[in-house]
Amino acid sequence: MGGALNERGLWGVIGAVAIAVAAIAWIVIGRRRSGAKGRAGAGPVSNLAASSAEDRWPAWETSIRNALMQHGWVDEYFLSSVPPPLWVATMRRYVEEHPEDALVFYDSLPRIELVNRLRMKTFLHSWKAAWELVDAEENFHSVVSNIATQLFDILGFVHVPEEQRTYRRLHGFVVRAPALRLKVPPRFPVVFVRRHEGSPEDLTDLHSLMSILSMTSYFALIIDLNDFAVHLDPRKNLKNLVRDTIHDFIVLNGNDLRQIIIARDPGKRLVEIVLQQVDLTVVSPYVTSGPVPANMFFGRDHELKTITRKINDTSFALIGGRKIGKTSILAKVYRLLSESVARSSILYLDCQSVKTPEAFFEAATTIWRVHPLIRSAEDFRRYVVYQREENADEPVVVLLDEVDALLSYDLEHGDGTLFGLFRAMSQERHCRFVFCGERVLHNQLHAAHSPLFNFCDVIHLGYLREHAARRIILEPMQAMGVSIQDQEEVVYEIINLSSCHPNLVQYLCQQLILEANARHTRQITPADLNKVRHSSSFHEYFLEVTWGNTSALEQVITLLIADREKVSFGDIQEELTQHGFAVPQEALEAAIAGLRLYSILLKEGQQYRFASGAFPEVVQESQEVDVLLTSLRHQMGEQAAPGYWGLS
């Protein structure tokens, strides 16, 4: 009997050892599969046991996840299907394979807990109450208000309580979102649907609620109470119902909200959920027209520091070509200054469509909400002085974008009266100005007779530094979950093609997103970039951005020297003469100055080279140079004053 017991005990020990060794082997296998380093040293018995554990791992993983979602913690009680010797190994592996979840593992217990366990407990209680109160509107609203507050706190959203609305069975809360690196509006609604099942009627109501809330965008987060809608009739599944709407409705159920609660980075988790429901092109944040939003502004640190630190003492002029980022910098300056001083003492006006002083005063009255109306220079002075006094006698900052047309009109019809007023008010320390413009502003800053002469510190905007361009390429891609095959090669080629022109970088990235989206994948390949770089649409866009508002003569010069690495002033003169362009020296000097203004040519000593190394390649691949030169020759003849330049 004793021998039998000893034998039975011996086999028990052997079995326990085998299971323990199997646990070690199994967790090593798990680490290898998840990318961790390890070395297996188990024999046939342990490998067999480890293989069995590996087969059962998905079920164990699901058990742990469900327990965390429902209770906020896991111990051996929830692992009844796991052999006791594998409890620690199973929990450890789960934590290692879910690094993006905020988990704490106590191997001595053993036990896994959510870092935000109490937050999950509060949510689960409220979520259950919301389900039970769908027929009690007032009580339901109170409960979902608590859920909304918790959700907004987790995600960093700012609730706008005065804009919340209840419409039929919809409870809408308007939020201002942080700078998620997606094309998501800064203000959008989060809507709880007071039903157990969705209905086509809800879509009509959602459209109505968007109008009631004065939403100009099509984006909203819709909260569905049914965690098992996948088992419903498709006509009652909200995720199915919203697919055919014009709005970008993102449906979140309780499982999605739990995933957000347990995440180390809740904002990133929300982005992942959003990207599961929408087309990449819908949320791609790359911008090719207009100012970039705050979440897509990269670089320009030196310019921003210079302006924000010195604006109380001097005015500035931002000079640069089309799409180089002038308006984006002005918007960034506005945001930075608004954080430190009263918003009313920072005045912004887009002057692109403002051509006359009268139009300027009218636009200022409307945009700045001035009362009484500004009708004259004296009214403008009085208003600014009042704002300065309200701001503890600190100068008011006036940001004026695209001033070329207004400045040109003022010089031709008013002898510079309006800009003379600006200069006087700045000298009297009532205000400081930041002007944005191109050729006219640049010329007047250097003209001795101009009211702008020696008025402003000048900042010339060129291309970005490579580090900023790399961030534009990589950070939004990572936020969208888009990978890049041969990443360094692709990034290098984008930088080479764009020469770090901010708008061209954004354009190339957006085109690559379109290529990946067309293949229904989230991976960009070198072949995608090769297709884009040789496309006629890229060539046209590249030349449109590079040439911008250049004159016919300036374009002629770039075409004639496209195959030259460096040229001198004399080389350019010689090329023009050889091709039959008789251009006065003064006109040629102005043209070269214009090409430098638009960051097309860079001066190095006494020679010039293209700022964009891709320019010659694009010209040669996309243009019939002789035909284009003939067309430009005719334009020059039509634009030139009689006798200004001879055409042979």
Query: Where does the pLDDT of residue 231 fall: very low under 50, low under 70, confident under 90, or very high at 90 and above?
Result: confident
Asked if 191 and 60 sit in the same domain, the reply is: no
Pure H helices in 343-433:
357-367, 377-390, 404-413, 417-427
Tens of pLDDT, residues 372-391:
889 999 999 999 999 998 88
Q: Which of 248, 278, 308 is the last residue of a domain?
A: 278
Number of structural domains the chain divides into: 5
What's the CATH number where 151 sits? 3.40.1350
In a domain, 616, yes or no: yes
**Would 9 be classed as within a structural domain?**
no
Peptide bond into 110 cis (omega under 30): yes
CB proximity list for 48: less than 8 A, separation 6 or greater = 22
Residues 103 and 170 in one domain: no
Is there a domain that residue 611 lies in? Answer: yes
Report residue 223's pLDDT band, with 50, 70 and 90 as the boundaries. very high
How far apart, in whole angstroms, are the C-alpha atoms of residue 620 and residue 599?
20
Output the six-digit token pair for 293: 């939003």
Residue 601 domain flag: yes
Whether residue 500 sits in one domain with residue 554 = no
Residues 175 and 213 in one domain: yes
546 phi, psi to nearest 5 deg: -65, -50
Query: What is the amino acid identity at position 535?
Result: S
Task: Look at residues 150, 132, 60, 269 and name the one whose alpha carbon lies nearest to residue 68.
Answer: 60
Mean pLDDT of 65-83: 92
454 and 510: one domain? no
Q: What's the confidence (pLDDT) of residue 247?
A: 82
Distance CA 614, CA 624 (A): 17
Residue 527 lies in a domain: yes
129 falls in which pLDDT band (50, 70, 90)? very high
The answer, as to whether pTM is greater than 0.85, is no
Residues 641 and 586: their CA atoms lie apart, in Å, by 14
94 pLDDT tier (thresholds 50, 70, 90): very high
Assigned domain for 283 exists: no
Q: How far apart are CA 68 and CA 230, in angstroms?
A: 21
Structure token pair of residue 134: 């769908």
Examine the domain organization and report whether 443 and 500 are in the same domain: no
Structure tokens given for 613: 């190394």
Q: How far apart are CA 239 and CA 198, in angstroms?
A: 9
For residue 209, what are its two tokens? Answer: 């609620």
| 262 plus 305 within the same structural domain | no
Residue 648 has pLDDT above 80, yes or no: no
**pLDDT at residue 4 in the model:** 43
Residue with tokens 């429902």: 70
**Residues 629 and 558 reside in one and the same domain:** yes
Stretch (H or E) spanning 621: helix 615-622
Q: What is the pLDDT of residues 113-128, one digit of tens each?
A: 999 999 999 999 999 9
Q: Are residues 141 and 264 in the same domain?
A: yes
Q: In this structure, which amino acid lies at residue 315?
A: S
524 and 622 assigned to the same domain: no
Q: Check which CATH number belongs to the domain holding 499 and give it.
A: 1.10.8
292 domain-assigned = no
Tokens representing 387 are 């704002």
CATH number at residue 634: 1.10.10.10
Q: From 406, 441, 460, give the residue that closes a domain.
A: 460
Q: What is the DSSP letter of 292?
A: P
Q: Which of 223, 245, 278 is the last residue before a domain boundary? A: 278
Pairing of strands 581-582, 646-647: antiparallel
Q: Are residues 215 and 151 in the same domain?
A: yes
d(CA 500, CA 492): 11
> Residue 539 sits in which domain range?
466-543
Q: How far is CA 2 from CA 8, 11, 599, in A?
A: 10, 14, 95
- 169 and 258, same domain (yes or no): yes
The predicted-structure confidence for 531-586, as pLDDT tens digits, reads as follows 999 999 999 999 999 998 999 999 999 999 999 999 999 999 999 999 999 999 99
CATH value at residue 443: 3.40.50.300
d(CA 375, CA 76): 78
Residue located via tokens 């006036």: 398
Residue (of 248, 183, 242) closest to 480 by Cα position: 183
pLDDT confidence tier of residue 394, bands split at 50, 70 and 90: confident
Does 539 reside within a domain?
yes
Phi, psi of 317 (to 5 degrees): -125, 125
Instruction: Judge whether 337 and 330 are in contact, CB under 8 Å.
Output: no
